[in-house]
Structure formats: structure tokens, C-alpha cells
Amino acid sequence: MNNYELMVIFTPVLSEEDYKAAQNKFTAFVKENGGKVMHDNPWGLKSLAYPIQKKTTGLYWVMEYSAPSDFNEKLKIQILRDETVLRFMATKLDKYAVEYNARKRSGVPTGTEKAEA
């Protein structure tokens, strides 16, 4: 089992219910295929760096999960079939990234915070 982080940008025209349903669909897909969802974080509506399909904003969502190494190809196929997804990126996390994310979620200082003057 490897650790991964998936970032998905959904189309901004989704309703709140559709946005949550899309998130639930991908988390359920991970669980159905023997994976485990560690954490998911809906960022909400954010501006895009450049227009994608003539849209300047998107609904961001980040999920951290562990799964077998052959799972990502199945996930990629499911994401590409979904027309509500503008872009996605799956990243393999090493042990340091997993530890960093866990510390950041729990509120422990990670050393990357900005110093207040």
C-alpha cells in the first residue's frame, strides 16, 4: 500500500449537493478497490491560474489516501470519464510528506509557517 494525494478541480457550475456527491463517488471508489481514505479537504471555489474550458474558477478538492500501486490507473479512468472534472493530479507521498500532512492537520507547528512581525 502506497500513500497518495489526489487534487481534483471540478467545474464551478456544480451545486453544493453535486459537489459533495462527486467527492463521495471518488472516496467510495477508493474504498471499494481496497484503499483507505486518510483525509479529504474540500477547498471550495478558487480562481484558476489560467482559463480551462473557458472557466476562470473551479471547485477544488484534495484527498489523501493509501491504495495498492495498480489502483491509480483505475482511478484515472474513472476521473477521465467524469465530465464534471476539469483537471486532476495524483501524487505519490513519501513518509516525510505523510508525516508533514498529519502534523499540519493536528495543528502541530511544521516549521513552514510565516513568522509574525
Determine, yes or no, domain membership for 113: no
Q: What is the domain-level CATH number for residue 29?
A: 3.30.70.60
Question: Where does the pLDDT of residue 109 fall: very low under 50, low under 70, confident under 90, or very high at 90 and above?
Answer: confident
**pLDDT over threshold 70, residue 110:** no
Residue 33 within a domain: yes
Half-sphere exposure of 56 (CA within 13 A, CB side): 0
**Does the residue 100 lie in any domain?**
no
C-beta separation of 61 from 23 below 8 A: yes
Q: How far apart are CA 1 and CA 67, in angstroms?
A: 5
Percent helix / strand / coil, the chain, rounded to 5: 35, 40, 25
Q: Report yes or no: 95 and 66 within 8 Å, Cβ to Cβ.
A: no
Q: Does residue 115 have a pLDDT over 80?
A: no
Total structural domains within the chain: 1
Structural domain span for residue 63: 2-91
| C-beta separation of 84 from 17 below 8 A | no
Is 106 domain-assigned? no
Q: What pLDDT score does 116 carry?
A: 60
This prediction's pTM: 0.83
